[in-house]
Amino acid sequence: MTGHHVDDQRLKALLESLLFAAGEPVTLARLEDAIQEAPRDQIRSALSRMASEYSAGGRGLVLEEVGGGYQLRTRKEFAQQVRKLLAAKPPRLSRPLLETLAIIAYRQPITGPEIEHLRGVDSSGVLDTLLDRRLVRIAGRKEAPGRPIIYATTPEFLEAFGLKELDSLPDLKDFQELQRAAEEAGEMRHESNEPGPAVAAAPEQSDDPSDPKQSE
């Protein structure tokens, strides 16, 4: 039956079930592979209609394209209540973490020594933390003396900041505003063993906020 058009209402109900169960962004290719009954164009159109219906229907969830996939997420105005229900403490993005993350996001792929040169301090511990939080990844090694490790951001970074893709990044000087917006929108997904839609648990602002360093 692959490639056959199916009833639109049934398709939307099926997509809703798949996205709810996944609890993370699901690519169009994965949805097509799971459904098999409908062609990609019909699935894409159904997702677009679902997003409009969620947005216009005054419901508690929204359907967003984020991190290279589609995801059901709680509405930003309910972030505080959802966090309270789950008793989820948002992961803290301190000044060094935010500064290093900004450098990687805007200059990737970038090596550890290049990051340290821009920051002016040793960054190994900060990089380890960002790796542990899956906000950055090791993207290989540079063909240079010592073959330094290359770093890049992850799909989890896009998800955490509510970005569809890296091209959606604002100007570097606005990066911290993006972090604040993510906090208000509750975009940092609560890490839970229970499947379900993304819930509000955003990065917490540092006590001593500072714009990421910019290098000429």
If one compares 207 and 7, the residue with the highest pLDDT of the two is 7
Query: In the CATH hierarchy, which fold is given to the domain comprising 91-200?
Result: Arc Repressor Mutant, subunit A (1.10.10)
Rounded distance between C-alpha atoms, residue 66 and residue 22, angstroms:
14
Domains 8-84 and 91-200 share a fold: yes
Whether residue 1 is predicted with pLDDT greater than 90 in this model: the reply is no
Looking at residue 165, what is its pLDDT?
Answer: 82
Structural domain spans, the chain: 8-84, 91-200
Query: Could you report the per-residue pLDDT of 82-94, keeping only the tens digit for each?
Result: 877 876 555 567 8
Measured between alpha carbons, how far is residue 160 from residues 70, 71, 154 in Å?
Answer: 14, 12, 10
Is residue 66 within 8 A of residue 164, CB to CB? The reply is yes
Q: What percent of the chain has pLDDT over 70?
A: 74
- For residue range 93-148, what is the model confidence (pLDDT) as tens digits? 788 888 899 899 999 999 999 999 999 998 888 999 999 989 999 999 999 999 99
Give the 3-state secondary structure percentages of the chain, helix then strand then coil, rounded to 5: 50, 15, 40
90: which 2 tokens? 């948002």
Of the CA atoms within 13 Å of residue 154, those in its CB half-sphere come to 13
Q: How many residues are given for the chain? A: 216
Burial track 150-183 (b if 16+ CB lie within 10 A, e otherwise): bbbbbbbbbbbbbbeeeeebeebeebbebbebbb
- What band does 59 get if pLDDT is binned at 50, 70 and 90? confident
- The pLDDT value given to residue 68: 84
Q: Are 186 and 12 in contact (CB under 8 A)?
A: no
Least confident of 29-33, 53-57, 103-107, 174-178: 174-178
Determine the Cα–Cα distance for residues 90 and 79; give it in Å rounded to an integer. 11
Mean pLDDT of the chain: 78
Question: What is the per-residue pLDDT across 147-163, written as a single tens digit (0 to 9) for each?
Answer: 999 999 998 888 887 78
Prediction pTM value: 0.52
Please determine, for residue 71, whether its predicted confidence score (pLDDT) is greater than 50.
yes
What is the pLDDT, as a whole number, of residue 7? 86
User: Is the pLDDT confidence value at 178 over 50?
Assistant: yes
Residue 47 has pLDDT above 70, yes or no: yes
186 pLDDT more than 60: no
8-84, which class in CATH? Answer: mainly alpha
- Residue 73: which H helix or E strand, with range? strand 69-74
